[in-house]
Amino acid sequence: MAETILVVNAGSSSIKFQLFAIGQGDQLDRRLKGQIEGIGTRPRLSARDANGASAVDESWSPDEVGELSDALDRLVVFLRNYVGRLPVAISHRVVHGGPDFVEPTTVTARIIDRLQRFIPFAPLHQPNNLAPMKIVLERQPQLLQVACFDTAFHRGHPEIADRYAIPENLYREGVRRYGFHGLSYEYIAMRLREVAPEIADGGVVAAHLGSGASMCALSAGKSIESTMGFTALDGLPMGTRPGQMDAGIVLYLINEKGMTTKEVEHFLYHDCGLKGLSGISNDVRDLLASSDPRAKLALDYFTYRIALFVGLLAAALGGIDGLVFTAGIGENAPGIRQAVSDRLSWLGIELSEMANRKNELRISSKRSRVACYVVPTDEELMIAKHTLGVLRKSTSEQLKEKRA
């Protein structure tokens, strides 16, 4: 039976997971993709195997699976029965690594303590990312755990790109621009070398468009600029987050509307973005299906801001060779891609109507001066690759110690 790596992405009431088998030559093969959702309300474990067949579909009462720890216990039991043994490593997606964490890191109690300092930087994600680490560390301390950071891919930015125009002491404390969705962009940069080598070493703008959305400027596969900054609120409008806005609005909400900081936090993370603009939904699919003019306004605003940021990132690159769409909206919404491209005709961007409608790999026309692609992202595979690297390095170091 092949050794496996479990990739975990924990939320407030769910655990998404994927299981990869380590094959010959360290080939990673996806064995399972699933989630435990509705923790504490309507808990349900479901997963599909590599062929798309159901591997498990089991539900429990809220009393049986009321906490994250209960859900992890159920997941462990299922994996032991399905695979025959525990994975050799568990890897965790962590949204914020702050200024210090620039590569995948072995999880220890000290590392968790350091990562907890960044909870104010990512209040929706960070606590949930760290919770399963703590539980596994308590119950299976011998099991290798690896933290992979959404910010790490962007940590090579030049200082001028990471700075805000604020005093030095705040920058030294970590108040700087980080960028997010780095695991997705890292995968895209790697994948471009296989599917679009003609642009992989050039200047590429990648647009990760999902419920959370951002864009990244890639130069020869390296991140040099991003639309997101200190937190995951900045840049593009998102499902429920506003994206770029005047900081004075926050002061107005506190001073004139009497909102507390907690109320402002909830407002910015839950009530803005496409949901706030449309008053209908945070889901692009709902907005595309709606005839309400507010839905059209929200989508027009979304594509307008994407096009604006293409210009900004192209300026950072000094020119653009390729535009890549990825993530849920980017991969599956031809209308959004077309609307963005129409706004970028000044760059010489032109899509093939048929290729775009079919979600093909290359969607630009032969006349387009900029190559446009749809590249499905795979953050979980990227995390598994990083974890395998840490595992192999750890094994090598242990062998050296034994020989010494």
Residues annotated as catalytic (active site), given as ranges: 150
| Alpha-carbon span 287 to 35, nearest angstrom | 27
Nearest partner of 307 among 259, 261, 399, 372, judged by Cα: 372
| In contact, 103 and 142? CB cutoff 8 Å | no
| Alpha-carbon span 275 to 287, nearest angstrom | 10
Nearest partner of 382 among 52, 20, 77, 35, judged by Cα: 20
| In contact, 390 and 213? CB cutoff 8 Å | no
Q: For residue 138, what are the CA distances in angstroms to 108, 116, 246, 336?
A: 10, 17, 44, 46
- Which residue type, as a one-letter code, is found at position 376? P
Give residues with Cβ within 8 angstroms of 67, minimum separation 6.
Answer: 39, 40
* Residue 254, number of CB atoms within 10 A of its CB: 14
Q: For residue 126, what are the CA distances in angstroms to 37, 106, 295?
A: 18, 17, 31
| In contact, 62 and 42? CB cutoff 8 Å | yes
| Alpha-carbon span 148 to 87, nearest angstrom | 17
Residue 391 is given by DSSP the state: H
* Residue 400, number of CB atoms within 10 A of its CB: 9
* Tokens found for residue 238: 């998102």
Q: Tokens 């914020």 belong to which residue?
A: 96
Beta bridge partners of 22: 28
| Alpha-carbon span 99 to 4, nearest angstrom | 31
